[in-house]
Amino acid sequence: MKKNRLTLHLTILALFCATITFSQVDSTSTRIDSTPKRHQIAVFAPLYLDSAFDASGQYRYAKSFPKFINPGLEFWEGAQLAIDSMKREGLQLDVHVYDTRSTAKPLMTVLQSEQIKEMDLLIGHVTVNEANLLAQMAARLTVPFINVNLPNEAGATNNPYYVILNSTLETQVTGIYKFLQKNFSVSTVVVFRKKGATEDVLKNYLTEAEKSTTGTPLKMKYVTLENNFTQEDITDYLDSNKTNVCLVASLDAYFGQQICQQLSTVSSSYTTTVIGMPTWDQFDFEKPVFKGIEIYYSTPFYVPPTDKLATSLSEHFRVNYYSRPSDMVYRGYESVYHFSHLLHLHGKNVASSLSDKKFKLFSEFDVQPVIDKKTMTLDFFENKKLYFLKKVDGVVKAVY
């Protein structure tokens, strides 16, 4: 029987409090080696430590644990694992951890401090506003800022120091179009969508991908469904004599689930392959509403279940915390480990070496420049690597 993961969270939060009390500065500093002339790394995460603990260091929420703390804390769990690994390897680095939800030391105060000027690398789990501020700071310092979680350019232009790891929507849609071209080129793709501004953006991206393709454009049929669509509204566009290829062009996860539920219900009469959006990584594909259909969706992050490090990490969490590491744990681990090693290897030249694929842990990063098509200038860097997962009845059947 699994214990509540609250035990794990409280333990780590207690460690945070002890570290912050010990350091008595505006960041948590983890020294990996005592050698001088060390590279300085700033890690930003929404830890909510001021909210979680009172002035005397007592935890505020008794036996409960608020969900809003989870993402930042899980990201830091992974970052701490990376620090532990680099410590064992003897890397000469100082890692400074900043709580972006701190009321005592807000982000703007940190960015105006003298300490931030010493940083050689910025890594963060951020919001749009935080990404914008950190990207600007990175440009002023001429050091990379690695945005780990947010698939958004955050208004960045002409900034060769801003790196987006979680691929943007335009990159995702372009990748989906190319994937369909490669694997379903002779099929008519039925694109189910709903009314909405985001859906219009998705359609525009698909249209741009079609215009810029060097191959044969896909045959795509757009179908706009009303909010109260019925099973017949979908099956009217299906053919019982062939495999139907359907693309759900909406980030609304509930809308996607509704379509899959309808397609699952008629799976004995219609063979269907469904391509979903990156938001589908939150679905539990083992549920009956997904039975009988073949589902693909894209993601820039994939942890192979047979990977030795991933297996070891999963076992560590099972034995010690009666839980499984979340996706954000893996994300924090691989991003801090990968880019810290690049900094250690390339030093001041790390900004021009972001595409270096050494030090891969779980996911492969393909960091490429994004060029403004009008000015032909470099706006930022982005991870262009996409994995496509094929799932049938909740089981991963293939990874592309």
Radius of gyration over alpha carbons of the chain, in Å?
23
What average pLDDT does range 197-203 have in this prediction? 97
Residue closest to 274 by CA, chosen among 191, 202, 395: 191
- How confident is the model at residue 22, as a pLDDT? 27
Q: In what order do the strands lie in the sheet with 162-164?
A: 28-31, 93-99, 39-45, 121-124, 145-147, 162-164, 378-383, 367-371
What average pLDDT does range 108-117 have in this prediction? 96
Phi, psi of 237 (to 5 degrees): -110, 10
pLDDT at residue 105 tops 60: yes
Please report the beta strands in 82-156, taking only residues with DSSP state E, as ranges in sequence order: 93-99, 121-124, 145-147
SS3 77: helix
pLDDT at residue 7 tops 50: no
pLDDT at residue 17 tops 80: no
Mean pLDDT of the chain: 88
Q: In sequence order, what are the beta bridge partners of 275?
A: 247, 296
Token reading at 338: 């990968």
- How confident is the model at residue 36, as a pLDDT? 52
- How confident is the model at residue 11, as a pLDDT? 45
Q: Which domains does the chain have, with CATH numbers?
A: 6-166+306-385 (3.40.50.2300), 169-299 (3.40.50.2300)
pLDDT at residue 79 tops 90: yes
pLDDT at residue 96 tops 80: yes
Span 150-188, pLDDT tens digits? 999 999 999 999 999 999 999 999 999 999 999 999 999
Phi, psi of 34 (to 5 degrees): -95, 0
Span 375-400, pLDDT tens digits? 889 999 999 999 999 999 988 998 99
Residue closest to 272 by CA, chosen among 291, 311, 245, 252: 245
Number of neighbours of residue 263 by Cβ within 10 angstroms: 27
Cα angle 48, 54, 56 (rounded to 5 degrees) comes to 135
pLDDT at residue 5 tops 80: no
Sign of CA dihedral 112, 117, 119, 123: positive
The dihedral over CA atoms of 86, 92, 331, 154, expressed in degrees to the nearest 10, equals 180
